[in-house]
Amino acid sequence: MESNRRSIAKALSWRVLATIITTCLVYWLTGKGEFAATVGLADTLIKFALYFAHERIWNRIDYGRPKTEPEYSI
């Protein structure tokens, strides 16, 4: 299970790359820098929150994880 801190770090690193891609794409399509930056910022804020929630939900799901035996102590 990952910590909240690790999930945040992963989300941030991905969002930086994705924001650059989105901003460049919007600029390439429209030629408007301010508009591209606004779309990039909105995209980042929305998707960062959704990605973090998605990660936290998947941490509660056992699908695809190896099963472990419970530890018993005497």
Asked if residue 69 belongs to a domain, the reply is no
What pTM, to 2 d.p., does this model score? 0.61
Structure tokens at 43: 């995209």
Q: Dump pLDDT digits (tens) for 29-74.
A: 999 999 999 999 999 889 888 988 998 998 898 888 888 877 777 6
Kindly report the length of the chain.
Answer: 74
Asked if residue 51 belongs to a domain, the reply is yes
Helix (H, G, I), strand (E, B) or coil at 62: coil
Q: Which of 50, 59, 61 is nearest to 11 (CA)?
A: 50
Residue 33 phi/psi, 5-degree rounding, is: -65, -45
Number of domains in the chain: 1
Q: Dump pLDDT digits (tens) for 1-30.
A: 778 889 888 878 888 898 999 999 999 999
Asked if residue 72 belongs to a domain, the reply is no
